Structure 1
Amino acid sequence: MVAYKSKMVERIRLPSRAQRERNLERAGYNAFNLDSEEVFVDLLTDSGTGAMSDSQWAALIRGDEAYAGSRSFEELESAVRDVMGFSHVVPTHQGRGAENVLYGTLLSAGDVVINNTHFDTTRAHIANQDADPVDCPVDGAHDPEMDAPFKGNFSLEGARAVVDDVGAENVPMIISTITNNSTAGQPVSVENTRRVREFADEIDATFVIDACRFAENAYFVTEREDEFADATVAEVAREQLGYADALVMSGKKDGLVNAGGFVATDDETLFERCKQRTILYEGFPTYGGMAGRDVAAMAVGLREAVEEAYVADRVDQIQALAEMLEEVGVPVYTPPGGHAVYLDAGAMFPHLSPNEFPGQVLVCELYREGGVRGVELGSFAFPETDRPELVRLAVPRRTYHKEHFEHVVETAATVLEKRETVSGLEITSEPEVPELRHFTAELEPISS
């Protein structure tokens, strides 16, 4: 059941095929380099691209723009305390700002950080501190066809092996990302989170939850974890997050806003250290790089994110898109996650090797055939890691409707029909930081 109605619209248009061909070539066959007006259905990311509610727009107008002691900051503090259970908040301009503040505070050169699966900016921020990010996904996490309720879980067995190898004294921080974006948006169980908490205590490590999609994760827990069958999304969210020492949060996901993020903790000492780093990199600790109106809108968005009707509609929309794609034969990572449908480009283009970047090829073909923009999360985005060749179709919150998804499905089906005719890509230029190359690198078709 749809939980909202439209009060504002934006006109979009589909460029001609000839225009799309020219746009791809100009963009260096990298969808990040396309202009938004050149895209018909934009599924590049769900980060900051959603539609805000009327209550959030009202909060924008009421926002307090005071440099220090803003009323809007007090509203955010209250929302984080009520929804997430943490007493101290350090706002930042977005999630990667929160990563910089927290990880720059906690990490030193030579440290090892264990995560269920690091996402791109997380991996890059850890590497930027001269620390080593190590993934510990559970068995089957990289199997697009395996059906399991919590494929996003953190592998305790893998983590223990890492600690045995490097020594507990070299692992100051453990991260659990919920939902697990790099593992196709798969959820993490509360029981797994409890066990990670216990493990962090054993090795005296700080336990951090990357809470970008905490509400979507909580919804899956209510659907799949028997202990919480009668719990609300809000109740699950508070319990699961409560096992962490600190959170990093991109408000552009389950904060339902277009800008903003924060660090949250109950640790007074850590809070004070993060505040000082925030002043250096983000702004005064009561605005953290955001306008007061954005802080106010995020305070409202956090409360809306755990409303049952909203989050159920959100997840149902993703599942409906996945089912429509499967019906026309497009290989999809299963079960679908909470914010995106992940296409299996390796299965779609079995004639292309990882060195030919089948995922990036699929991104380009989706745009070529229908003006649909997705993002590659395989060998192009994550070089030298053992991950499936996936393309993420991330759905902006409260933005697209059934007709848009029908166009996406029709486009993907057309690509599938022509799959044997496509060729691979090769990189022509890339940045020095390998963890971030997919944002700006340029490619070209491989000559036959």
Structure 2
Amino acid sequence: MKTIIEPFRIKTVEPIKMTTVAERRRLIEEAGFNLFKLAAEDVIIDLLTDSGTSAMSAAQWGALMQGDESYAGARSWYRFERAVRNVFGFDHVIPTHQGRAAERILFSVTVRPGSVVPSNAHFDTTRANIQFAGGRAVDLPSPEAADPAARYPFKGNMDTAALERLIDEVGPERIPVIMLTVTNNSGGGQPVSMANVREVSRIARGHGIPFYIDACRFAENAYFIKLREEGYAGRTPLEIAREMFSYADGATMSAKKDAFANIGGFLTTNDGELAARERDLLILTEGFPTYGGLAGRDLEAIAVGLEEVLEEDYLNYRIVSTAYVANKLDEAGIPVMLPAGGHAVYLDAARFLPHVPPLEYPGQALAVELYVEGGVRGVEIGSVMFGKDPQTGEESPAKWELVRLAIPRRVYTQSHMDYVVEAVWQVYQRRHEIGGMKIVSQPEYLRHFSAEFARA
């Protein structure tokens, strides 16, 4: 069949509160033009994030009822540990309440002032945790990623020649870890090829530098490899994922993405000495090593989710349905990041609003207008999120000016997505009327979460 349907039935529904343009204009002004500050009930289609917003399956809800809430050595812990090892293959599994906690623990024990941590593109919390530990986060995206409209199949790759140059420039002793994010969230949700994973691994091991994968969307990345990389069409997503992780020394994971869970994450490694130090910090800040800030029922839900996310029917639906939105927008002449990523559609705000300078934050301006027009909440990934130097406070344009429309897993139907396409189209029709934004207040770290804006 040509029509790809949702490979699930809907058993429970949640009503959506409908609002008017006038109401939404008032609400966003009251929120300081920051979409994070809106009440969720005032959002019609919420594409702010795909993190923790998935719909859990009947099997996951059933697993919740089996949660063992014993403080130490709970049955649920052992089920969780087996599920993680089955996919990732690393010896040591350290549960955390979410992915950023895994990042904080990893960088707290590895990064020192003056450290440099390269990546294909760090996302916001990863970058902030490196900076908080005194390190410098360096993005080394592939050259193909510079053009949002280019249809290169693996635009999430790291520039390995640039990685070699960086190691020669700063010395391997200043690089405690090399990170590779799959898929590349900051770079448009683009996948990373297996060839690139292997090459980054070869370089890291040649210089004695640990290599870690930020694995939030590992299953989507594995399926892209199956679809796009020669030699993998006959492999299962699980087999591809296991090969990806075989080249690494460890991984961080937010289970709120590719495990369908509403909370949770983990850190996993083969380094026993490092794992012992990480567990010490875990006990201090998260909880005992067999629960790590999670309830037993959450450990159960993640264990089931790690199995379900690798089902090919689901992954095919996920990739095709996201591409449906991106392709509809592209056919209408609306600038989007191409080819479509797995978890989100990225509007190219720089081309959408070319008259708005980068430091008047075209992505934020576009995100605000999309909410006003249709009650659709996205998030800016551009000079608001990445434009401020943490050491000097100096503002500079980010590599990309994007608005991410992150699609929660198993939540919205095609008619919801058609509504989103129509809302974007309506904003595009009046794009010449849209002006820029300015920041009127901001915190020191992760300013996009709580900054307040005004029209420029």
- Same fold, TM exceeding 0.5? yes
Where 2:424 maps in the other structure, the secondary structure is: helix
Instruction: Provide Cα deviations, 1:253-299, integer angstroms capped at 9, x if missing partner.
Output: 00110000000112222221211111111111111011110011000
1:348 corresponds to 2:352: yes
The worse-fitting range, judged by mean Cα deviation, of 356-365 and 101-110 is 101-110
1:234 corresponds to 2:238: yes
Give the alignment of 1:40-79 within 5 angstroms. 40-79=44-83
Where 2:383 maps in the other structure, the secondary structure is: coil
Alpha-carbon shift at residue 385 of structure 1 (Å): 5.5
Q: Report the counterpart of residue 409 of structure 1 in structure 2.
A: 421
CA contact (8 A) 1:318 1:340 kept: yes
Instruction: Provide Cα deviations, 1:85-138, integer angstroms capped at 9, x if missing partner.
Output: 223210000000110111111111111111111110000000011011111111
Where 2:145 maps in the other structure, the secondary structure is: coil
Q: Report the counterpart of residue 426 of structure 1 in structure 2.
A: 438
The worse-fitting range, judged by mean Cα deviation, of 345-354 and 159-168 is 159-168
Alpha-carbon shift at residue 329 of structure 1 (Å): 2.3
Q: Report the counterpart of residue 14 of structure 2 in structure 1.
A: 10
Q: Report the counterpart of residue 391 of structure 2 in structure 1.
A: none
Give the alignment of 1:226-375 within 5 angstroms. 226-375=230-379
Once residues 151 and 34 of structure 1 are traced to their aligned partners in structure 2, the CA distance between those partners, rounded to angstroms, is 33
Give the one of 438, 444, 447 matched to 2:454: 444
CA contact (8 A) 2:358 2:397 kept: no
Q: Which runs of 4+ in 1 moved over 6 A?
A: none
Tell me, which stretches of 5 or more residues in structure 1 are unaligned? none
Alpha-carbon shift at residue 374 of structure 1 (Å): 0.2
Give the alignment of 1:357-396 within 5 angstroms. 357-383=361-387, 384=396, 386-396=398-408
Once residues 287 and 74 of structure 2 are traced to their aligned partners in structure 1, the CA distance between those partners, rounded to angstroms, is 13
Give the alignment of 1:100-115 within 5 angstroms. 100-115=104-119
Tell me, which stretches of 5 or more residues in structure 2 are unaligned? 388-395
Once residues 379 and 386 of structure 1 are traced to their aligned partners in structure 2, the CA distance between those partners, rounded to angstroms, is 5
The letter of the residue matching 1:118 is H
CA contact (8 A) 2:106 2:278 kept: yes
Once residues 342 and 233 of structure 2 are traced to their aligned partners in structure 1, the CA distance between those partners, rounded to angstroms, is 18
CA contact (8 A) 2:359 2:397 kept: no
Where 1:227 maps in the other structure, the secondary structure is: coil
Q: Report the counterpart of residue 154 of structure 1 in structure 2.
A: 158
Identity of aligned residues (%): 51
Alpha-carbon shift at residue 17 of structure 1 (Å): 1.4
Where 1:228 maps in the other structure, the secondary structure is: coil
The letter of the residue matching 1:330 is I
Give the one of 178, 181, 188 matched to 2:182: 178
Compute the TM-score of the two structures, normalised by the length of structure 1: 0.98
Q: Report the counterpart of residue 392 of structure 2 in structure 1.
A: none
- Give the aligned length: 444
Q: Report the counterpart of residue 390 of structure 2 in structure 1.
A: none
Give the one of 98, 120, 123 matched to 1:94: 98
Q: Report the counterpart of residue 399 of structure 1 in structure 2.
A: 411
Once residues 425 and 312 of structure 1 are traced to their aligned partners in structure 2, the CA distance between those partners, rounded to angstroms, is 39
Q: Report the counterpart of residue 187 of structure 1 in structure 2.
A: 191
Where 1:182 maps in the other structure, the secondary structure is: coil
Query: How big is the alpha-carbon RMSD for the aligned residues of Structure 1 and Structure 2?
Result: 1.0
1:135 corresponds to 2:139: yes
CA contact (8 A) 2:52 2:257 kept: yes
CA contact (8 A) 2:349 2:403 kept: yes
The letter of the residue matching 2:84 is V
The letter of the residue matching 1:397 is R
The worse-fitting range, judged by mean Cα deviation, of 47-56 and 263-272 is 263-272
Alpha-carbon shift at residue 317 of structure 1 (Å): 1.1
Where 1:161 maps in the other structure, the secondary structure is: helix
Instruction: Provide Cα deviations, 1:336-358, integer angstroms capped at 9, x if missing partner.
Output: 10000000111111111101111
Alpha-carbon shift at residue 327 of structure 1 (Å): 2.5
Compute the TM-score of the two structures, normalised by the length of structure 2: 0.96
Once residues 81 and 423 of structure 1 are traced to their aligned partners in structure 2, the CA distance between those partners, rounded to angstroms, is 50
Where 2:308 maps in the other structure, the secondary structure is: helix
Where 1:183 maps in the other structure, the secondary structure is: coil
Instruction: Provide Cα deviations, 1:1-30, integer angstroms capped at 9, x if missing partner.
Output: 321111110000221111101111011111
Where 1:45 maps in the other structure, the secondary structure is: coil
1:32 corresponds to 2:36: yes
The letter of the residue matching 2:405 is L
The letter of the residue matching 2:428 is L
CA contact (8 A) 1:91 1:260 kept: yes
Give the one of 78, 84, 92 matched to 1:80: 84
Once residues 116 and 243 of structure 2 are traced to their aligned partners in structure 1, the CA distance between those partners, rounded to angstroms, is 27
Alpha-carbon shift at residue 430 of structure 1 (Å): 0.6
Once residues 385 and 29 of structure 1 are traced to their aligned partners in structure 2, the CA distance between those partners, rounded to angstroms, is 20
Where 1:428 maps in the other structure, the secondary structure is: strand
Once residues 154 and 218 of structure 1 are traced to their aligned partners in structure 2, the CA distance between those partners, rounded to angstroms, is 16
Instruction: Provide Cα deviations, 1:58-77, integer angstroms capped at 9, x if missing partner.
Output: 01111011110011110111
Give the one of 206, 211, 236 matched to 1:207: 211
Where 1:209 maps in the other structure, the secondary structure is: strand
Instruction: Provide Cα deviations, 1:205-251, integer angstroms capped at 9, x if missing partner.
Output: 11110000000000000001102121111110010011111110000
Instruction: Provide Cα deviations, 1:32-51, integer angstroms capped at 9, x if missing partner.
Output: 01010010000000000010
The letter of the residue matching 1:419 is R
CA contact (8 A) 1:208 1:244 kept: yes
CA contact (8 A) 2:359 2:383 kept: yes
